[in-house]
Amino acid sequence: MLSTKTILDIESIRKDFPILQRRVHGKPLVYFDNAATSQKPKQVIEAMEFYYKNYNANIHRSIHELGEEATAKFEEAHGKIADFIKADSYQNIIFTKNTTESLNLVAYSLTAGLKKGDEIAVSQMEHHSNFVPWQQLAKQRGLKLKFIKIDDEGKLDGESIRENITKKTKIVSLTHVSNVLGTINPIGEIAKIAHENDALMVVDGAQAAPHMPIDVKKLDADFYAFSGHKMLGPTGIGVLYGKKELLESMQPFLYGGEMIREVTFDGTSFNELPWKFEAGTMNIAEGVGLGVAIDYLTKIGMNHVQGRDKELVSYAVEKLSEVDGVTIYGPKERGAVVSFNVDNIHAHDVAQILDSEGVAIRAGHHCCMPLMSVLKVPATARASFYLYNTEQEIDAFINGIHKVKNVFGV
Ligand SMILES: Cc1ncc(COP(=O)(O)O)c(C=O)c1O
């Protein structure tokens, strides 16, 4: 069987990413911080430059050629995202700033309808953006926040899922792929349990949508959130998918221009979906850029992107496991991230020495402080991969880890 690397022309993919040509501290850049944000292909950069040079205008309001062109491109991007995640229509797709804003939108709009004592279930592995909004709203509105535990491997514990999703649960909000452990959660199965209990299923897809084919209807997710900047798109544009009947029943999150149908001195009626949730001037160039990023990924094929991720992460785990004193966190079957520690060296020191070798990784709590307390570590180092990375880069990273060990004499 052909490897994905053989199917994809990695060298020509790399040529699309201008930043990969640069050097850091005199060494070729090895960019392994893709879970924080991905690099951008020239197609995306050029589309945004083209927008500003040729048809920059505000959308939905200007009856002139530029305004019509900008509106058409921005709306087209909604449609591309709908196709990308197999949603019914562009009306299911709301543009936000990022995953964080998408999840806050859902949290505010959904908890408004809950009563004291109602329960929300999240897990121990959630990113702060799928944790803090629920925690704060639970405190303000007298709701109960429940935590699904992880097992020793770093997967969601089956018993804890059943214990924490009950008839009292109104919302289950889980990450699809953990940004620390790489765990791929069985969202479809958990959505079924949530729905049997009449709870809604909210999914943080920040680390999943960039890396695997997503079918929101197969998953039966009620809401699915992700960020453009982690999937070759620009910063400042994120997505919230929602089932139409739910979005229609929800109160807007932001009020102001463009989200209205009619305003009088006595009241306001709201616009149709998705505009009801897109108040004010949106990030137009960013929406256009995200549309082009989606074209890029679609042309390669998300099954190929996922296949390539698997090759890279398996190779990295294999090579890291051969280094004495390295602890790897998370299950064998994982997304495109590997978190680790080297002996008792602080993760920041590991990252700093790797940086001097041109290797960019992330170190810290990865916006998952509760998870760090479960893992009983203050921080981890994390290497995260994407389609333009190579095995040679992983070799350079492993050489860097040996340098870390030499510097610390372990
Ligand atoms: C799992 C997960 N959820 C949410 C986020 C938040 O994404 P953003 O900062 O783009 O809102 C991240 C970002 O790292 C993430 O990894």
Q: For a pocket test of ligand 1, which of 125, 175, 177, 179 has the largest count of ligand atoms closer than 8 A to its C-beta? A: 179
Alpha-carbon dihedral angle through residues 345, 29, 393, 208, given to the nearest 10 degrees = 80
How far apart are the CA of 248 and the centre of ligand 1, in A?
Answer: 26
The token pair that represents 287 in the structure block: 């929406």
Fold agreement (4-31+302-408, 45-299): no
| Ligand 1 contact, 102 CB (< 6 A) | no
Report the alpha-carbon distance of residue 242 to residue 35 in Å, rounded: 24
CA of 86 to the centre of ligand 1 (A): 22
Q: How far is the CA of 202 from the centre of ligand 1 (A)?
A: 14
Alpha-carbon gap, residue 379 to 329, rounded angstroms: 11
Model pLDDT, residue 366: 96
CATH class of 4-31+302-408: alpha beta
Architecture in CATH of 45-299: 3-Layer(aba) Sandwich (3.40)
DSSP output for 127-180 = -GGGTHHHHHHHHHHT-EEEEE-B-TTSSBPHHHHHHHSSTTEEEEEEESB-TT
Residue 2's pLDDT is what? 79
Pocket test for ligand 1, best of 129, 384, 386 (most atoms within 8 A of CB): 129
Measured from the Cβ of residue 142, the count of other Cβ atoms closer than 10 Å reads: 11
The verdict on the CB of residue 164 being under 6 Å from ligand 1 is no
Question: In terms of C-beta density within 10 A (0-12 exposed, 13-18 middle, 19 or more buried), how is residue 24 classed?
Answer: middle
Residues labelled catalytic: 367
Pocket residue to mutate for ligand 1, from 33, 34, 127, most atoms within 8 A of Cβ = 127
Contact 339, 180 (CB under 8 A): yes
Smallest CA separation from ligand 1 atom 14, residue: 36
Ligand 1 midpoint to CA 268 (Å): 34
Ligand 1 close to Cβ of residue 96 (< 6 A): no
Q: How far is 224 from 202, CA to CA, in rounded Å?
A: 6
175 CB near ligand 1 (under 6 Å): yes
Ligand 1 centroid–CA 357 distance in Å is 27
Q: Which two tokens stand for residue 321?
A: 């496991």
Q: Is the CB of 185 under 6 A from ligand 1?
A: no
Give the domain ranges of the chain. Answer: 4-31+302-408, 45-299
The number of angstroms, rounded, from the C-alpha of 212 to the middle of its chain's C-alpha atoms is: 11
Question: Could you tell me if the CB of 211 is within 6 A of ligand 1?
Answer: no
- According to DSSP, the β-strands at 30-31 and 359-360 are parallel
pLDDT at 375: 97
- DSSP class of residue 82? H
| Closest to 24 measured CA to CA, from 36, 15, 35, 33 | 33
Q: Profile the chain (410 residues) by mean pLDDT over runs of 10 residues.
A: 87 98 97 98 98 96 92 97 98 98 96 94 98 97 97 98 98 98 98 98 98 98 98 98 97 94 96 96 98 98 98 98 98 97 97 98 97 97 98 98 97
What pLDDT, on the 0 to 100 scale, is given for residue 111?
Answer: 87
CB of 227 closer than 6 angstroms to any ligand 1 atom: yes
Using CA atoms, how far apart are residues 140 and 133, in angstroms rounded to an integer?
11
- pLDDT score for 279: 97
Cβ-contact 71, 60 below 8 angstroms: yes
Alpha-helix residue ranges (DSSP H) falling in 36-157: 42-54, 65-84, 99-111, 132-141
* Phi, psi dihedral angles at 359 (to 5 degrees): -100, 115
Q: Is 73 helix (H, G, I), strand (E, B) or coil?
A: helix
Task: Specify whether the CB–CB gap between 48 and 235 falls below 8 A.
Answer: no
